[in-house]
Chains A and B, each alone.
Chain A
Amino acid sequence: MILSHFLALAIEHMFDYTNYPTYIYGKNPMPVAALESMLERRWHGAAVHGHVLPLTGWTIGIPSLDLALGPTGIPHGRLTEIFGDASSGKTTLAFALLAACTRRGDIGAYVDPENTLFAPAAEAAGIDLDRLIVVRPKAEQAVRRAADAIVRSGACAVVVLDGISARALQTHHCARLVSQAERNGITLVALSRGESQPLASFASLRVRMRELSPLWQSGSDGGGRLSGYSIALDVAKSRMGAPGRSAAFDAHIPDVTMTWPCGEVTIESREEEEEEENAEHSASIA
């Protein structure tokens, strides 16, 4: 009984390539050497072929969320699936990850076949748009090729697959992408509705966005304005830590005038505005 438990843990270790130096044996940790010896006896040969590198990841900067994700955070070189209904907070999480990526000076990529990426929102979330490659293929096959082209060279630290790009991936596509992401240390993030079995199977981390509740702020004129929202999520699957953890946090907007539609727009000068209008008018005609 105990042996089968160890074997299960060992097999999980073998497939996860994570760096857990010990496993719990009753109240005492079992040495890795003993575990390797046990595996070699069981499988009649060397079970561990090399040193397993420590797994690192991205921390989002939200204490409750980072706590739920474990010490690794959103792992490098792995596939992470963020799933949930529309308006559940998936994009907020993806923006936070891309902001962390571009803030560190790395390049991010966003596969956006449905053209829903809104640049002002991304910039307000802290993403450096000059370091974000946006790819907008139309057909599913083009989506897969674009994702492959981005992941295989390792130039982008974070790659977000949005919309149909997540649904377009079959099992063999996922296997190829995950393999290349692992080789190049790329954080692959898929935003989905949670209906893709291949994604669920290949993801090392699955985050279910449970709820997004708006927070309203009353205005002095009697009207209201969106001042933020409260997001609740669950860790549905984690190969780096225990799944089943939940987190809830409030995303407050410090300046409600910067929500969309923007209430305050400052034009630098009237002349410049006229010139811009002329240019736009000419371009629209041309």
Chain B
Amino acid sequence: MPSTAQASREEMRLAALVIPEFLIDVCQRVNPSLAQRPLAVADGVSRREIVVANRAARGVQAGMTPKQARAACPGLVVVARDEQAERDATNQILEALESCSPGVEALRAGVYFFDARGLPGGETGAIGAAVALVSTLGFRAFAAVADDKFTAYCAAVSGGGCSIVSAGGSAAFLAPLPVSLLSLAPGDAERFDMLGLRLLGQVAALPVAPLTARFGERAREYACLARGEDHDPLRPRRSQTVYEERFAFESAVDRLEPLFFALRGCIAGVAGRLSGAAQVCDRVDIVLVLDATNVLAQTDENSSPSVADVRVALAEPTASAAVIFDLARVALESREHIGAVEAIIVRAAPCGEPPPQLELFDGSAGSRNAALAATLARLHATLADHEVVTLQTQAKRSRLPERMQRSVPIASPRQFVQKKTGSKGMPSVQPSWAPALRLLDPPRPMHPPAHNHTRAGPFRLSESWWEQPVERDYYQMTDRSGDLVLAFFDIRKGNWYVQGIFD
């Protein structure tokens, strides 16, 4: 009589969905013009390496530098890895798969598992629907169903379509597959090759003791996987609780005062439920259901015409109704022509437990940080992210003034916390004078200066010969109106431009 664990294991049926070119597909989703072009994705901070390339990028291999890859494949487009886009894509895929099965797990980027038991349409129908759903999102995927994760993964990878491994047939299915499908430790692939073990069936047939003598304890896992006995259970992602409050007006309102009255009540309800669960949120979504006849409704791109979404990002995770309402009011006041609102919905998803109230011990520094957090939250509620920034110089990248700086959106007030003395922080000596230049970007055309104008130059700058060649003769001069300007003569275009004003 089989044990309970064995019985439950025999009932287990897992589907694996594998997207072999996940990173490439993500890049093409972000920029559709990259389709049909040789494309490679590079990653790394200090040394950038090619991570993956599509089929059109012939000769390009993982581990090459972008320069080596371009030499191997002329016309290759190298794109930096976009982790945010990958996370967004993963969330979309998981949401799509959750419409097929209640339990969905993301093992890593491009590899997903879901419970295939008792689904309508059977196993074949379930994985077919999953592949179709994912393909609508722009991903080419393979899927398979088996008794365990490893077998399902191998079947999806080796099958190249939709495969079904019958119950109890994992070992027979895995036997002719190569050992390289195992996630081997460094050096183990060569050892298996030296021993003549190239198939999973050969590994499965060996006794465990000699294997562990040569490979260590990890050989037990190799042997189990090769025999189709992957005991790793499905770990479905937890469903997230979202607290929601609604208020419907008797008749549509087009003024902010009644809207704020209803909003205050909704936010108080959501904040109370958050507090009751000992949770805080870092974002509140406000949905304004608009009057269908309102033609002036300002809606986001992703929302339907009769709904306006207002996203309020909080400076610090909180469950304070006053703080949330204050920022929500700023966000709504900054919108013009909200239109007639029929109902209002407030949603907040918990993001964790309340932080300890360390500001009680910080004194004035704590209150300053809180004030800064409130300032940034108000600015973010009013302006776009790219309009609230800090500037960074990058003089080592280019000599062209328009490329000597870059703006970085302010993500958190914590980046303004005072650094220790001796780090990059404050200069220890009195700063010297430097010409205060106001940059004109793009440069403003100007009339050619007269020869008797006082000027210093030319200072020749030539850059970017490989893409957009720039050849300029720079001058510091007084223009016709008497202003002290930084001007240049564009040698290629033959025109004069003002790039900055010393002020």
Contacts and interface: CB of A to CB of B under 8 A. Distances in A.
B27 A286 contact: yes
Contacts of A137: 382-383, 387
A124 B478 CA distance: 22
A7 interface: no
B83 interface: no
B392 A135 contact: no
A132 B371 contact: no
Contacts of A266: 396
Interface in B244-291: none
Interface stretch (B8-16, B213-221, B420-428): B420-428
Contacts of A176: none
A102 B430 CA distance: 12
A268 B461 contact: no
B443 interface: no
B42 A95 contact: no
A129 B334 contact: no
Nearest to B473: A261
B478 A263 contact: no
Given A103-B427, A137-B383, A149 B330 contact: yes
Interface in A121-158: 121-126, 128-138, 141-142, 145-146, 149-150, 152-156
A126 B427 contact: yes
A129 B390 contact: yes
A88 to B, nearest CB: 7
Contact of A261 (B415, B440, B461): B461
Overall SS of chain B's interface: mixed
A88 B438 CA distance: 12
A281 B78 contact: yes
B382 A142 contact: yes
A214 B484 contact: yes
Interface residues of B, number: 88
Interface string A153-170: 111100000000000000
A278 B48 CA distance: 9
Contacts of B393: 119-120, 123, 129
Interface stretch (B96-104, B146-154, B197-205, B402-410): B402-410
Nearest to A284: B467
B206 interface: no
B435 interface: yes
Overall SS of chain A's interface: mixed
B433 A228 contact: yes
A156 B413 CA distance: 12
Given A87-B483, A87-B503, A155-B372, A223 B391 contact: no
B30 interface: yes
A278 B66 contact: yes
Contacts of A133: 375-376, 379, 388, 390, 410
Contact of B501 (A86, A223, A224, A265): A86
A212 B439 contact: no
B432 interface: yes
Nearest to A277: B466
B382 A149 contact: yes
A263 B65 CA distance: 31
Contacts of A263: 459
B476 interface: yes
A47 interface: no
A229 B503 CA distance: 10
B58 interface: no
Nearest to A228: B433
B431 A265 contact: no
Contact of B431 (A116, A125, A153): A125
B28 to A, nearest CB: 11
A102 to B, nearest CB: 7
Contacts of A90: 503
B36 interface: no
A145 B382 CA distance: 7
Interface string A110-122: 0000011111111
A81 to B, nearest CB: 15
A86 B483 contact: yes
Nearest to A132: B390
A134 B503 CA distance: 19
Contacts of B48: 275, 278-279
Instruction: Give the size range of A's interface with the partner.
Output: 35 or more
A240 interface: no
A92 B432 CA distance: 12
Scoring B379, B388, B438 by chain A CB atoms within 10 A of each residue's CB, the highest score goes to B438
Contacts of A226: 435, 456, 476, 484, 502
Nearest to B486: A260
A283 B80 contact: yes
B418 interface: yes
A56 B45 CA distance: 47
A156 B376 CA distance: 11
A22 B66 CA distance: 74
A11 B61 CA distance: 81
Interface string A67-90: 000000000000000000111111
B437 to A, nearest CB: 4
Contacts of A136: 386-389, 407
A244 to B, nearest CB: 24
Contact of B467 (A228, A281, A286): A281
Nearest to A275: B48
B350 interface: no
Contacts of B191: none
Given A89-B503, A91-B436, A225-B476, A115 B441 contact: yes
30 contacts: A86-B501, A86-B503, A87-B501, A92-B436, A103-B427, A116-B440, A117-B439, A118-B439, A120-B393, A120-B404, A126-B427, A132-B390, A134-B391, A135-B379, A135-B383, A136-B387, A141-B334, A225-B476, A252-B433, A253-B435, A254-B432, A259-B434, A261-B400, A263-B459, A265-B396, A275-B47, A279-B48, A280-B397, A281-B66, A282-B79
Interface of A: 61, 85-92, 94-95, 99, 102-103, 105, 107, 115-126, 128-138, 141-142, 145-146, 149-150, 152-156, 212, 214, 216, 223-226, 228-229, 251-255, 258-263, 265-268, 274-286
Given A130-B415, A134-B391, A254-B432, 4 more contacts: A88-B503, A138-B387, A155-B371, A276-B397
